[in-house]
Amino acid sequence: MMTISQQDSQLIEDLEASWLRLEMENRHAELTGLLAPGFVLFPPDNESVTGAAAIQALSPPFPIRRVELSDRKIDGGRYHAWKTARFRTVFDREGEDLTIHGHHLWVLTKSADSWRVTALSYQIDS
């Protein structure tokens, strides 16, 4: 059974760090550079969306103050991988903290020497 290499795992962690930086800087349109062609977003309790609609759906309703990840797992092979994690996101809702908790799944593909997110699914804890 093949598992993902340490180098590829690090590349995916670097991609994740870039994603979080863009979210924190409210530069959601630039997330497209981290996505594979045909990216699909599976939002909770909604229809899947692709393309520009997916990027719009990733834009939060309020500025993000911080994101904390835990229980991150990355696995896969040479050309396909997946990442799961729990998240805690704190938004700035008109000067007040609004905190959500949940978990997400990324499906990734590798082309040349770079990984891109092919699909993203997430759930918010109730």
Task: Kindly write down the DSSP assignment for every residue of 55-91, as one continuous string.
Answer: HHHHS-SS-EEEEEEEEEEEEE-SSEEEEEEEEEEEE
pLDDT at 1 over 90: no
Residue in the block written with tokens 């180098």: 7
Above 90 in pLDDT, residue 46? no
pLDDT in tens, 106-117: 999 998 889 999
Beta bridge partners of 69: 87
Q: Give me the pLDDT at residue 113, please.
A: 84
> Checking DSSP bridges between strand 80-93 and strand 96-111, what pairing results, if any?
antiparallel
| Element spanning 46, H or E | none
Hey, what CATH topology would domain 6-124 get? Nuclear Transport Factor 2; Chain: A, (3.10.450)
Indicate the domain borders of the chain: 6-124
Residue 38 is predicted with a pLDDT of 92
pLDDT single digits (tens) 73-100: 999 999 999 999 999 999 999 999 999 9
For residue 70, pLDDT over 80 is answered with: yes
Angle, alpha carbons 121-9-20 (nearest 5°): 50
Instruction: Supply the mean pLDDT for the chain.
Output: 93
